[in-house]
Amino acid sequence: MESPGIRMSEPVTAAMAGTSGSDGPAGMPHALTLAPIANPTLLALDSTGNACSAAVWRDGALAAHRLAEMTRGHGERLLPMVADVMKAASLDMAALDAIAVTIGPGSFTGLRIGLAAARGLGLALARPVVGITAFLAVAASLPAALRERREILVAIDTKRDDVFLQRFDPALRALAPARLMTVSEAIAGLPPGPLLLAGDGVALLAPSLPHDRDIATAPGSGLIEAALFAGLVARLVACGGGGAPEGPLLMPDPFYLRAPDVKLPGGLPAGPPPS
């Protein structure tokens, strides 16, 4: 069932979403057609990596946020964290206009926890649920002054010997499809010109970065924080996602760049059924 005020559109193109041109294990993300919501009050959630976070955006500003670094236990922390930020913002759940959630790529279990929580809240409240890729969530956390005149390369740690990669321009427009690469492939394929590296996968690339290049790294841990992408999603919701350089709003469906190792109970594959 589709959430009120939205409908599923065609699968977005690689240029629109910045995702791989092939269908991949979970297929292409689908764009949302969303009626614009002026000045939305929005709840943002993330549990795709080594952190769990929630944030409330209201009246054009961050009203409350919580972040806990963790490698497991997201399921026990996320909903209490939601209750905590709503209380800190002095809001009832019914005051929300929309819910945003990261759709991956990331940890299979953590990704599913966040999506299940967001979808459940959206269904209970009859509010639209919108997705944002982990790549754009990281890029959105970068201050405009840091992004100026630099191409952005977001690197997400896969917890293996490779990284998920996505390129953006300073306006957060995707420049190329998302990729899964080894560290050596990523270093060999670095785009020319001034670069800004961001994400928790930067630590894997750092020892091999060339010293004769203008390459800056974003400060901090590179972990995704709901507080840092809530404002971007609120702006996209306010305009219905249309015409924004960051691309369209996305359906809250899992986005993988490779098949998960995990199987669901009963031996079912982790990805969605074939269309």
Each residue's pLDDT tens digit, 97-148: 999 999 999 999 999 999 999 999 999 999 999 999 999 999 999 999 999 9
Q: Identify the pLDDT of residue 33.
A: 84
pLDDT bin (cut points 50, 70, 90) of residue 30 is: confident
Does residue 7 carry a pLDDT above 70?
no
Whole-model pTM: value is 0.86
Would you say residue 29 has pLDDT above 80? no
| Average pLDDT score over the chain | 87
Which pLDDT score, from 0 to 100, does residue 26 have? 45
**What's the pLDDT score for residue 14?**
38
**What is the percent of the chain with per-residue pLDDT over 90, rounded to a whole number?**
74
Residue 5 has pLDDT above 50, yes or no: no
Helical spans, DSSP H, in the chain = 14-17, 74-88, 108-125, 134-140, 144-147, 183-188, 202-205, 226-238
Give the 3-state secondary structure of residue 257: coil
In sequence order, what are the residues at sequence separation of 6 or more whose Cβ sits closer than 8 angstroms to the Cβ of residue 155?
A: 163, 164, 165, 186, 197, 198, 199, 200, 201, 202, 204, 205, 222
Residue 133 CA, chain-centre distance (Å), reads: 3
Write down the pLDDT at residue 6. 41
Domains in the chain: ranges and CATH: 6-136+224-259 (3.30.420.40), 146-217 (3.30.420.40)
What is the pLDDT, as a whole number, of residue 177? 87
According to the per-residue pLDDT averaged within each range, which of 2-6, 213-217, 253-257 is highest?
213-217
Residue 49 pLDDT exceeds 70: yes
Alpha-carbon span 133 to 173, nearest angstrom: 13
pLDDT at position 9, please? 42
**Mean pLDDT along residues 66-82:** 96
Count Cβ atoms below 10 Å from residue 187 Cβ, excluding itself: 14
Please give the angle made by the CA atoms of 109, 115 and 121, to the nearest 5 degrees. Answer: 135
- 183-202 pLDDT, tens per residue? 999 999 999 999 999 999 99
Q: Which of the four pLDDT bands, split at 50, 70 and 90, describes residue 151?
A: very high
What residue type is assigned to position 1 of the chain?
Answer: M
pLDDT at position 261, please? Answer: 56
Averaged pLDDT, 169-173: 96
Residue 68 pLDDT > 60: yes
